Structure 1
Amino acid sequence: MKIGLALGSGSMKGLAHIGVIKVLVQEKIPVHLVAGTSIGALIGALFCCGINWDILEKLVYQLRKNHLIDITVPKKGLIEGRKIHELLKFMTQSKDFSDLLIPLAVTATDLEKGELVVIKEGIVADAVRASISIPGIFKPVIWQSKILVDGAVLERVPVSVAKEMGADIVIAVDVKGKKNSISVQVNNIFDVIIHAIDLLDDKAFFDCCADADVVIIPDLPNAGLFNIELAEEVIKAGEIAALKQVAVIKKFLAGEAVCKN
């Protein structure tokens, strides 16, 4: 029985994926494949590359905005993306998909055709850089003659991709799922774009996790694109949410019938 992990988008809120994966590892719940979108693609890639989670947490806590942002003259995006691409290559050791310990699929959106693109080959860091290309913020990536932006434009949590990869049980992690009643602070152009996208997402007429077997929805603070100072709180929220679903996941593994809520 194959367990697939579908990790969704959510900018800094996606650091909750670290907490979720920590719990799965601690509880010895096997993960046989991963599908990731945007920040979910980034965290999923690091997991599939075999990164040490303690080292990753320490690295996250030490990150600052200037490690990630390289402002460019706005033509196709406010951020060039070279800095974060170099960081991705360092963290993934420039690995190819064929080098990964666990099969990974990274999603992006073909901006011209409006189609979901699933990347399973080539350099992992290149695929992740495409998947995190939030429209208007990060400059799009050219891949195989396609102009690629954030995969979340079409599918916030890539449950369908995990199923296509052969998962019998899909654990979906939706870090945008719980709508916070507290007003969001909009302090800069990054906040404007991210919050506008979130509002459009809230109005979607479909449930991106409807076909998942287990859905983990962390209760998260309001966090902007680069609110790295909230990292510890966000990661902890992922752990708490995952722990609540451990018993359900283990029932699936034992072959017991489970009623989905």
Structure 2
Amino acid sequence: MLMFTRIKPKVGLALGGGGARGFAHLGILNILEKEGFPVDLIVGTSMGAIVGSLYARLNSAKVATEHFQQILNENKSDVHELNVYQNDGKGDHLFDHIAREIKQRITINLSISRQSLFSSERLQRAVHCLFDDCQIEELPIKFAAAASDLISGKGVIINKGSLRNAVIASSSIPGFFPPVSIKDYLLVDGEVTDLIPVEACYALGADMVIAVDVRRTSQTTQKFQHTIDIFMRSAQVTGYRYTDTLLKNADFVIRPTLLDVHWSDFDRFREMVNSGEEAAANCLSDLQAIFTSRQSGGILNKLKKKHKNRDNVSHLEHIDLIEFPP
């Protein structure tokens, strides 16, 4: 006769990229923390890596939110380096139009003469002002950053070494910031290969994966005001379809309502946090039901779940697990 025991499932949180929309991750973490819902590990892509690393570093969603809010309120230029449209000059005066035209022409010239429009120092300053560096394996909450290797085309999970460097690699938007070179890898933003790192959570041992999708709820209101908007949206179309397929492997997907939020709208911090809190609050009962079902199944359910994950996530062979030098 088989004996069944209640085993607490290991919960993984897959935080997707989305620029300023990623602030919604903080709201979701706030609610999960407030309600005592366990989070055993976090894997973040791009802004998901920034928010996830800050949470793992401070070990408190409330403190992480307050810390981020304080930095933004103080208008520290280092954090606003993340907004590549800052000081874009949207006035209607003749000189405003002339200034924008000159800026656009300079941008085009730069894009064909060097690796990126901005130096790596710009992104480094933004990340450095958020938290002190440490070794990822020393964090109180298990964390990894998802990046993409331009050489092999593989997704990369960084789960050891310098936390800052891992986050910088995961957030290095191709074209905007230069790739990060480490060993035989040339790393850029994790969104290139995995917008929402569900598979990475399973690879790191999660039994139950909650994915957070901060893509725009709809594109019907989007205005393509910049050349880069058109380029990025074109690249997103295929990537989004791929992401929809991968999300089927998650146990649950939280989707905050983010209708008209551009990825560079960093001044809408509180609105994004509130959207995340609302979305998480609305699905708490569903999350608890899934958690309970995983727990009540005991050892047999746990083994079946792991086997199911291996079948569904067959392309884990395309993900490398690497360590950043200290």
TM-score > 0.5, shorter chain as reference: yes
**Superposed displacement of residue 107, structure 1:** 1.0
What percent identity do the matched residue pairs reach? 29
Residues 114-153 of structure 1 aligned to structure 2 (within 5 Å): 114-153=153-192
- Quote the residue 1:12 is aligned against: 20
Residue type of the partner of 2:218?
K
2:92 is aligned with 1:79: no
Q: Equivalents in 1 of 2:280, 2:83: separation in Å?
A: 34
2:172 is aligned with 1:160: no
Q: Equivalents in 2 of 1:91, 1:49: separation in Å?
A: 10
Instruction: Give the structure with higher Rg (CA).
Output: 2
8 Å contact from structure 1 (residues 61, 228) kept in 2: no
Residues 13-92 of structure 1 aligned to structure 2 (within 5 Å): 13-50=21-58, 52=63, 53-63=65-75, 67-68=80-81, 73-74=110-111, 75-92=114-131
8 Å contact from structure 2 (residues 217, 259) kept in 1: no
- Quote the residue 2:92 is aligned against: none
Q: Return closer, same or farther for 1:194/1:118 CA change in 2, 3 Å cut-off.
A: same
Q: Equivalents in 1 of 2:178, 2:255: separation in Å?
A: 29
Unaligned runs of 5+ in 2: 1-8, 85-106, 297-326
2:225 is aligned with 1:213: no
Residue type of the partner of 2:45?
T
Q: Equivalents in 1 of 2:205, 2:176: separation in Å?
A: 34
8 Å contact from structure 1 (residues 108, 117) kept in 2: yes
**Superposed displacement of residue 144, structure 1:** 1.9
SS where residue 263 of structure 2 aligns? coil
Deviations 1:80-128 (A, max 9, x none): 1313313323323111112211111111111011011111111111111
Q: Return closer, same or farther for 1:65/1:179 CA change in 2, 3 Å cut-off.
A: farther
SS where residue 255 of structure 1 aligns? helix
Residue type of the partner of 1:36?
G
**Superposed displacement of residue 194, structure 1:** 3.2
Q: Which of structure 1's runs of 4+ aligned residues deviate more than 4 A?
A: 61-66, 69-73
Q: How many residues align?
A: 256
Q: Return closer, same or farther for 1:205/1:95 CA change in 2, 3 Å cut-off.
A: closer
**Superposed displacement of residue 242, structure 1:** 0.9
Q: Equivalents in 2 of 1:70, 1:245: separation in Å?
A: 31
**Superposed displacement of residue 11, structure 1:** 1.4
Residue type of the partner of 1:7?
L
Deviations 1:204-251 (A, max 9, x none): 485221111111011103233321122221221111111111111122
SS where residue 5 of structure 1 aligns? strand
8 Å contact from structure 2 (residues 209, 252) kept in 1: yes
**Superposed displacement of residue 188, structure 1:** 3.1
TM-score scaled to structure 2, two decimals?
A: 0.72
Residue type of the partner of 1:10?
G
8 Å contact from structure 1 (residues 70, 80) kept in 2: no
Residue type of the partner of 2:117?
L
Q: Equivalents in 2 of 1:61, 1:195: separation in Å?
A: 30
8 Å contact from structure 2 (residues 83, 266) kept in 1: no
Residue type of the partner of 2:130?
M
